[in-house]
Amino acid sequence: MISEMLLPEFDQEIANTRKTLARLPDSKAEFTPHSKSMPLGKLAPHVAELTEFGHRVVTTPRVDFSAGSYRPLQFESSAQLVKVLDENATKLRNAIRETSDEAWRENWRLAFGGRILFEGSRFLAYREMFLNHLVHHRAQLGVYLRLNNVPVPAIYGPSADESGM
């Protein structure tokens, strides 16, 4: 079953994301490594709430960003972000577990008004639009940690700060 194969990876990526969010300095919300980079206080909440978007991928046939009244999560603290991640991850994990193989193969669409941003299987949307997106932004947060002299957690093996040897 597809869901059974996805869950171990999901659990590991959420655990890695939790470790990263937990280390973010609460006093550095305005920090940005470059003028084109998102401030930590915007990027970190985005990472924390991506699990809510993942839930929408798994449980709805489409998302249209022009519909609704989305308001981004405001950065308060690393503890707040971990709590949001954990709450949404629990809902998403349950939804993944309950999704049939047939539902993973169904078409899924992301749009903004009349413009299609993504169209493909729900499985591909989950991987590309949610999971890869989460990993990408979490890696950016690792750079933010490094540039603020905060130990970078081990993610896929030892980090320079957690050699484990």
Which is it for the CA torsion 40, 50, 131, 88, positive or negative?
Answer: positive
For position 111, which CATH number holds? Answer: 1.20.120.450
**What is the bridge-based pairing of β-strands 62-64 and 107-112?**
parallel
Query: What is the amino acid identity at position 21?
Result: L
Residue with tokens 């489409």: 62
- Bridge partners, residue 107, by sequence: 121
Residue 160 lies in a domain: no
Domain span at residue 43 reads: 2-147
d(CA 118, CA 110): 5
Residue 103 lies in a domain: yes
Distances (CA, A) of 24 to 43, 74, 157: 11, 14, 20
Residue 152 lies in a domain: no
The pTM of the full predicted model, rounded to 2 decimals, is 0.94
pLDDT in tens, 36-90: 999 999 999 999 999 999 999 999 999 999 987 788 999 999 999 999 999 999 9
**Number of domains into which the chain is organized:** 1
Q: Which SS3 state, helix, strand or coil, does residue 21 take?
A: helix
Average pLDDT over residues 25-31: 96
Residue 77 lies in a domain: yes
Torsion of the alpha carbons at 139, 144, 146 and 151, rounded to the nearest 10 = -80
